[in-house]
Every structure is written in structure tokens, then in C-alpha cells.
Amino acid sequence: MARLGSQAKAGFYPTPDSVCELLKAKIIFDLEKGARLLDPCCGEGKTLSRLAGGVPNLTTYGIELDHQRAHEARSRLDKVLWGDSLSEVMVSPGSFGLLYLNPPYDTGVSDGAKSQRLEVQFLRRYLGTLQQGGYLVLVIPYYILKHCAKPLARYFKVQVLGFPEDEFQAFRQCIVFGRKKLLAPKEEAEQTQTHLEELAGMEPDEFMNEVETLECIAPVSITVPPPAKPLTTFRAKNIDPLEAIPLVRKAGILKNVLAELTPKKNNVIRPLTSVKKGQMALMLAGGYMNKAIEKNGRQLVVKGVMDKSEKVINVRENDSGEGSITTRDQYIPTIKIIDMQTAELIMVQ
């Protein structure tokens, strides 16, 4: 399996190292006042931490859907939320100097049955979190520019760059640097929109001839502004147990919390025929079998939930590594077990 396929297996496709290095060389920060940086699809947090690396007074914020990746990102970024950044988090508007957005390249369902590219859903949801004069760094396949053209043209002064030639082949990505501004006049916005749509409609070679590539632009290209106001809200609607347990311990209220978590009443289940695995999983996830039990001398509380994650359903790739990855959200019946003596959390999926 070549590069594209193996990356898809891991479930995400981070920004290539060479692109991170080039980006780092193009972005400058106010060394005294610093800046706030946000990546709403932060993966393991490597890209944002590299962009911020070695610069004083920067604060890095990430959001990630995959629990394991969110956990890993916490070792690299200052604050990481675990959850769906489109629907499960709350972030103050106008609070970030830099928004790094390398979203899943896929179609998602929004507004009932109407489907819309995820790239534009993330862009629309997060453009409001940037302060005036703040910078968007958007990484998307260039042909997706047609879906993003309208919001980009209305709210940003944009510059489109191609990925370095050897990295371009895999996903045909471009980078959009966008400086946030007040709403553009209608005529100017329409002209920019048309230009972006034209770029999106080009053949890959034509596109690469038309735009500059990242390595060719001047060394100092974007200057990220320092925070203009305090960040009042950055939180997830769901509680992440990996974060909550140490906090509860520290606060000295572990005993009370565990007592509160213990179900008051255990359901007694007497199926008439033997229960199939699928039925058992649904009953567990639906909470019907939540209970306190004793096993090998350990007091355990069992709770079933549906966990959401991303599944790769299709990888198309030719010999030169070109192609696409299609992913879908999936809901996994999960059993969470808390050991009442140690507050250890065990998860079974």
C-alpha cells in the first residue's frame, strides 16, 4: 500500500512535514505580545505545535474528534477539546489571530438531507472565531476552492498557493492565506469569487502554472496579530473522562463523584431466547445494562454509550499515489467501566 492508502488506514492525513517547515518560515508573530492559534481539526497536534514552536507568548488551541488523537495532542498544544468541532464545542467569536484549517476532504450531511462539502462547513463555522486582521491558513484540494469561494471572497483578502510539486500529486492541495477583513464590497467580492472558481475549474497542470507554490513566495508573508480581547469561551459540551478524573482527584471529591455515578437501581434482564452480539451491543450502548457490579473483588460501574469516530470507507489510489480518501462518521457502541477503588477508566468497543 502506498502513502495515500497507509495514511488512510490511520484515519487521517496530516499536513506533510515539508509543508509545515515552509509554512513556519512564512508566518511571523509579535514576539512580545504573542498570539492565539486555533486548529479545529488538530489531529495529534503536530502541525500547530510546529508552527508555534520556539516562539514565546503563543497559546495553541486544538479540537479533535478522535479520542486517542485528542489525547496525544494534549501533550503538544496548550488546550485541546475532544469532540465534533462542528456541533459539540463552543468558541468565542473574534478571539484568534491564526486559524489553521486542514479539514477532512469529504462530503457531510447538513441542513437535514442536504449534503455539503465538509471543507466549506468547517470554514463557515470557524471564520467567525478569527479577529479582524487575523489570518486563515486553509489547506484543501484546489478543486474545492469552488465550494469555498463565496465565504473566502466576502470575508478575506486571499492569496492562493500550490503545494510543493512533489506533495501536490497526492491530494492536489493548495494553501489559501486569507487575511480577515470587514465585509468586502459586493463587486470586489464577486470578482474574487469568480477568480477562485476559475482556479478550481482548471486542470491540475494548468492550476500549478497559474499560481505560485509555497516555496516560491517571499520569506515574510503573513504577520499574525496579537490577541485583541480575552478568550472567554473555549469548551466542549461533552465531558472527557481522561481530563475529568485527574481534576476530580485533585479537588478531593472522588468519593462523592463515584457514589453519584453508581446507578441506584440495576435492571434485571431475563431474555426469553439467547441474546445475539448485535442486540447485546445495542442494549449496552443504550444504557439498559448500566449497573454497579463486583468482579474479582473489584467494585465496578458499567455504563454504555455510543462513541462517534471517523471511518475510512474508500481509498482510490493509482501507482503514482494520486487519488482520494472517503471517510464517514461512525457510531461505535462503547462500554465504559469505572473501577470504584482506583477511579481507573476501562473502555471496551
- CA distances (Å), origin 25, targets 20, 87, 165, 176: 9, 33, 18, 16
| Complex with ligand SAM: residue 47 or 131, whichever CB lies closer | 47
DSSP calls for 121-137: HHHHHHGGGEEEEEEEE
For 336, phi and psi rounded to 5 degrees?
Answer: -110, 130
Least separation in angstroms between residue 222's CB and ligand SAM is 17
Query: Which span (84-92, 192-200, 272-280, 315-323) binds ligand SAM, by CB under 6 A?
Result: 84-92
Does 14 help bind ligand SAM (rule: CB under 6 A)?
A: yes
Does 121 help bind ligand SAM (rule: CB under 6 A)?
A: no
From 4, 7, 8, 15, residue interacting with ligand SAM (rule: CB under 6 A): 15
Rg from Cα positions in the chain: 23
Q: Is 175 helix (H, G, I), strand (E, B) or coil?
A: strand
Buried b (16+ CB within 10 A) or exposed e, 123-162: bbbbbebbbeebbbbbbbbbbbbbbbbbbbbbbbebebbb
Does 64 help bind ligand SAM (rule: CB under 6 A)?
A: yes
For 320, phi and psi rounded to 5 degrees?
Answer: -90, 15
Q: In what order do the strands lie in the sheet with 291-295?
A: 291-295, 298-317, 323-339, 345-348
Rule CB under 6 A: which of 308-327 touch ligand SAM? 310
| Complex with ligand SAM: residue 47 or 60, whichever CB lies closer | 47
Please state, in angstroms and rounded to a whole number, the distance separating the CA atoms of residues 156 and 285: 44
Does 65 help bind ligand SAM (rule: CB under 6 A)?
A: yes
Does 19 help bind ligand SAM (rule: CB under 6 A)?
A: no
Least separation in angstroms between residue 245's CB and ligand SAM is 22
| Complex with ligand SAM: residue 105 or 189, whichever CB lies closer | 105
Q: What's the one-letter identity of residue 52?
A: A
# residues near ligand SAM by CB under 6 A:
21
For 107, phi and psi rounded to 5 degrees?
Answer: -105, 135
Least separation in angstroms between residue 170's CB and ligand SAM is 12
Does 12 help bind ligand SAM (rule: CB under 6 A)?
A: yes
Query: Which span (9-17, 172-180, 196-204, 265-273) binds ligand SAM, by CB under 6 A?
Result: 9-17
Does 77 help bind ligand SAM (rule: CB under 6 A)?
A: no
Does 129 help bind ligand SAM (rule: CB under 6 A)?
A: no
Does 207 help bind ligand SAM (rule: CB under 6 A)?
A: no
All cell numbers assigned to 322: 494520486
Does 104 help bind ligand SAM (rule: CB under 6 A)?
A: yes
| Complex with ligand SAM: residue 192 or 308, whichever CB lies closer | 308
Please state, in angstroms and rounded to a whole number, the distance separating the CA atoms of residues 311 and 106: 12
Binding stretches for ligand SAM (CB under 6 A): 12-15, 39, 41-43, 46-47, 63-66, 69, 84-86, 102, 104, 310
